Amino acid sequence: MQRFKSASLVRNGLHSCRLLSHCRGLCSLPDHALNDDLDHQVLVEGKAWSRTAILNRPSALNALTTAMGARLQKLYKSWEDNPDIGFIVMKGSGKAFCAGGDVVYLYHMINKGKIEECKQFFSTLYAFMYMVGTCLKPHVAILNGITMGGGAGVSIPGTFRIATDKTVFATPETLIGFHPDAGASFYLSHLPGHLGEFVALTGERLNGLDMIASGLATHYLHSSRLPLIEEELGKIVTDDPSVIEASLDKYVEFVYPDETSVLHRIELVDKCFSHDTVEEIIDALEWEAGRTNDAWCTSTLKRLKEVSPLSLKVALRSIREGRFQTLDQCLVREYRMSLQGITKQVSNDFCEGVRARVVEKDFAPKWDPPSVEKVSSDMVDQYFSPLSEFEPDLELPTELREAFT
């Protein structure tokens, strides 16, 4: 096995693309976290030639809000326009980088009938994620801690992603009746083989070692060394990505995925998750489980039977479409899908999933439809359609900012 500093060819591939314990979905939040001081949800540190954006809702695992997305857009625009700023750093406060978007806020807004506020939430955050993916200056994300859902969306499309021994990555949206969004259909579809389908459908967690091996991260180091790398970044006077990369490389660690990593099962993942339908994927896993009595197959099957059946089919199609789309195309499509998910025209699974896993926490969601076999093609097709002929799509400044493929 080769060293995984560069995630073999995958890291270069993603880089050229520019790319519920912790099933807090996009994220679960304590109620008191909804009233954070808006002025302090994103802090700024100024260095010699860089600026650092600090996601600062530690009690809510730095879950993203509409206000945070708007502030980040404003900050990044001013930093891109400032010739004295060479690059941008993003990190989180506390034990998380970012656990995703504030789904409890969405849950309450939906139940109050405030769909326009929900639309603004998605459009604001997705627009910022596109800004990160097309950032005019090098972008360094320090993923020290929980990095899920929208947290991945504001970091993985950027230039550099530093994982540590404390990093926990997941896209657990199927467990709350949603779909892997925030650009997930773009970056997951570029992972080795059919690892993206596995991660999207199961919501299983990856650690920092898995992230570097798969190409989700570009660098890995022990969290105890982060102060050294932040000090180094603070001294750099450059806007050259190669200079920044050389500085990061001084602290990089050559690591391998541990024995339990799904990366060691990539051939089995490809064998099972390469099938065209969810039903065929489940059949393949059941056949392998019966033939080998493999505990991994059994646990994977168990997870697939816990999540929303509709979300499984929607997620699989989304990853497959994302493999042939640019980042902006994925975000525009995911915006449509997210609106379908929150308006209950197809199903109430999103609100039911959030209720069961992060609000009432009975962990007994009543999915509708209740089984994969009862999810029709028409339901999946509608999930990918506009809400109505008058509903505008997400508008992104693709004429001003290059759309990466």
Tokens of 347: 């199903």
Residues 6+ apart with CB under 8 A from 199: 170, 171, 180, 188, 191, 206
Tokens of 280: 């065929």
Count CB neighbours of 158 within 10 A. Answer: 23
At residue 211, the 3 state secondary structure works out as helix
Tokens of 184: 């997930």
Question: Which is catalytic among the residues 36, 102, 173, 288?
Answer: 173
Tokens of 344: 């209950």
Q: In the 8-state DSSP scheme, what is residue 24?
A: -
Question: Which is catalytic among the residues 101, 145, 151, 215?
Answer: 101
- 219 close to 262: Cβ distance less than 8 angstroms: no
Residues 6+ apart with CB under 8 A from 227: none
CA 128 to chain centre: 13
The yes-or-no answer on residue 173 being catalytic is: yes
* Residue in 107, 91, 95, 126 with CA at minimum distance from that of residue 34: 107
The yes-or-no answer on residue 150 being catalytic is: yes
**Tokens 């990366």 correspond to what residue?**
263
Q: Phi and psi of 148, rounded to 5°?
A: -135, 155
The yes-or-no answer on residue 341 being catalytic is: no
Question: Which is catalytic among the residues 86, 145, 151, 181?
Answer: 181
Rg, Å, the chain Cα set: 20
Question: Which is catalytic among the residues 100, 150, 158, 208?
Answer: 150
What amino acid positions are annotated as catalytic residues? 101, 150, 173, 181
